[in-house]
Amino acid sequence: MESLESVANPTDADLAERYTAIDALLGESPREDAVRDAFSQWEDVRRRWTSYANVTRLRFAQDTAHDERRAAQRALDERLPRITALETSTKERFLDAPARTPLERTLGAHAFDVWSADVASFNEAISADLIRESALKREYTEMLASATAPFGGEELTLSGLGAHLTASDRETRHAAERARWSIFASNAERLDAIYDELVHLRDGMAHTLGFDSYTTLRYRRMRRVDYGPPDVAAYRDEVVRTVVPLAREFVQRYGAAAGFERVYSWDESVLSAGAKLAPIGDLDWTIARAKETLADLDPSLGAFGTALFDGGMFDVAYRPGKQRGAFCTDIPLRNSPFIFANYTGRARDITTLMHELGHAFQHWQSRDQRVLDYMYPTSEAAEIHSMALEYLSWPQMERFFGPAAGAYRRQHLLDAILFIPYGAAVDHFQHMVYEHPGASPSERHAMWQEVERRYLPWRDYGDLAYPAKGGLWQEKQHIYLSPFYYIDYTLALCCALQFWERATADRESALGAYVALCARGGDAPFQTLVRSAGLRSPFEPGALEHVVSRVRAEL
């Protein structure tokens, strides 16, 4: 496979020329063959631009301190509003009846629904605000990628400290958490200032575009066309009713079994494991086992795994200066996804690896979709692909953990029950923030404390002053970088657990439905995709309660 560096940078002049040609083809009353030719040219130019943009973002994430990559990312951020303006203008042309009619027969109506959402959520009047927003997001990413704290005789980044957060020794976990929160305490003033400016920028953009709040704008921008804030609020109420009591019960039960008089926040990640859980081999060994796992699960997954790993389309080793977390991106010109992570030898790294492979498999399955937009589902649909693979790969966990695989599966399920209330808290917090954009930083910390009392009533921070004062939310990148992208994980988890339940009864049926769902990509709204796989929508009464009761029985 060609080097990613060979993905060319389309110049602004070249892009403008290409879009001018597309516009000319569409004309006032375009012929059907001209519309199809314009669409074909547009798909080509979008795939080239998307490939370049995604490679640029990936390279920056791989080394946030690299001067050339930082400059390339900054230049990309500054160009994006201009390119978005060109794309938006073209979407408007395709939405016009003369151009729409011949394409709708081929693409279906959903493409036009998402283009309508895109058109409504952009105007060149907000270009300067979008550039400033990107600069603030870049600063947040760089700050927390490079920040360190002393631990065990060395300076460790947040990703480096992550390896010690699940240590068998309780005091080691405690010390790692103290070091972790010292980084946030040291940067507290700037973290508050960055977020304060982001909130005001986003609220201002919403009003410039004619929306009543940033929440409404963001839902439109995320292409949430088949549900809205009232549906999400009702779902969060279900979380409080059905999941929070069970999560509190499990924390108490497993804490007592472990001999803890008090269960602190640094205990929650190891409650059911007993001893330290870790893969039994190094990173190269783990990659080899992952490739075997995919091949054993399904022939389609096996072919994908061979292409991805043999093609070198992954970077999962931890390095200082690397962006925190994990993600999957896509390079349309290479017909391939790329996975990014920070592997430090924790059990959770296996979950993360399977998660990102699920995203990547969906990209692989959808690579021949008839329109670029269908390659990318909305975020909550995309998280089904990733989370479902975590559970569908359960029978293979002995490869990674040997006789401790059962303990891994128990902790994985417990993590799911503890995560759903946390995910709901993150979402509720953001709704509160954008309902009150003029709130002060201290008032936002109080908002977080309020949602913690509602969704995480068992949480005990002990002597960790920073999260105890309402600062936990600042470590969640999504709140700064991808607003409202977090409830998506809990919605997807409700669906992934349904795949898990089905696989216990009929593994072949579950895998077949999973592979078929990945192939659809984003060719329909979230709830339509869910039901097409034989799953219940998380918004359907009783859906969440059902999967939670199944987890209760298992644990």
Each residue's pLDDT tens digit, 465-487: 999 999 999 999 999 999 999 99
At residue 273, the pLDDT reads 65
Upper half-sphere CA count for residue 393 (Cβ side, 13 Å): 30
Residues 6+ apart with CB under 8 A from 440: none
Average pLDDT over residues 57-75: 96
* Averaged confidence pLDDT in the chain: 95
Q: Is the pLDDT of residue 520 over 60?
A: yes
Three-state secondary structure of 261-289: CCCCHHHHHHCCCCCCCCCCCCHHHHHHH
Residues 6+ apart with CB under 8 A from 109: none
Chain CA centroid to CA 361, Å:
15
pLDDT band at 275 (very low <50, low <70, confident <90, very high): low
pLDDT in tens, 96-149: 988 898 899 899 999 999 999 999 999 999 999 999 999 999 999 999 999 999
Q: What is the pLDDT of residue 274?
A: 54
Give the Å distances, CA to CA, from 333 to 104, 132, 244, 285.
Answer: 25, 29, 45, 30
pLDDT at 29: 86
CA distance readout (Å), 453 to 179, 459, 465, 470, 516: 25, 8, 17, 11, 40
Question: What is the model's pLDDT at position 225?
Answer: 95
The pair of three-digit structure tokens given for residue 263, joined into one six-digit string? 């269960």
Q: What is the mean pLDDT of residues 401-420?
A: 94
Residue 370 has pLDDT above 60, yes or no: yes
Q: How confident is the model at residue 269 (pLDDT cuts 50, 70, 90)?
A: confident
Q: Residue 288's pLDDT band (boundaries 50, 70, 90)?
A: very high
Residue 271 near residue 255, CB atoms below 8 Å: yes
Burial class (CB in 10 A: 0-12, 13-18, 19+), 105: exposed
Confidence of residue 1 (pLDDT cuts 50, 70, 90): very low
Question: What is the percent of the chain where pLDDT is above 70?
Answer: 99
Mean pLDDT of 28-56: 95
Contact 308, 339 (CB under 8 A): yes
Q: Residue 320 contacts by C-beta under 8 Å, 6 or more apart in sequence?
A: 146, 148, 157, 160
Q: Is the pLDDT of residue 3 over 80?
A: no
Confidence (pTM): 0.95
